[in-house]
Amino acid sequence: MDTDSVRLFVLAAEKSNISAAGRALGMAPAVASARLAKLEGALGADLLHRTTRKVALLRISVVPDGGFSKSWPPIS
């Protein structure tokens, strides 16, 4: 797993904004969004609930088969 992508995820969660997190790490917003999508794909689960204005953490739990389960609503 790419630690830079994890760092981006943590910043995006803290700032509630993917673009701001990307800029803080010196990357374009589109690159930041693509890296987070790749991280979510590698994990097999969505980590963030995205709107046009902000992001929120989703509740993620590990299920018995070793995968992930997303629950709603986002963590506020």
pTM of the predicted model as reported, rounded to 2 decimal places: 0.77
Q: What is the C-alpha separation between 62 and 43, in angstroms, rounded?
A: 11
Average pLDDT, the chain: 83
Q: Is residue 43 part of a domain?
A: yes
CA quadruple 27, 56, 45, 4: dihedral sign = positive
Q: Is residue 57 part of a domain?
A: yes
Q: Is the pLDDT of residue 75 over 80?
A: no
Q: Is residue 45 part of a domain?
A: yes
- Judge whether 49 and 55 are in contact, CB under 8 Å: yes
44 sits in the region (left: phi over 0; alpha: psi -120 to 50; else beta) called left
**Domain region containing 57:** 3-71
Number of domains within the chain: 1
- For 10-36, write each residue's pLDDT tens digit: 999 999 999 999 999 999 999 999 999
Q: Is residue 76 part of a domain?
A: no
Q: Is residue 60 part of a domain?
A: yes
Q: Is residue 12 part of a domain?
A: yes
CATH of the domain at 66: 1.10.10.10
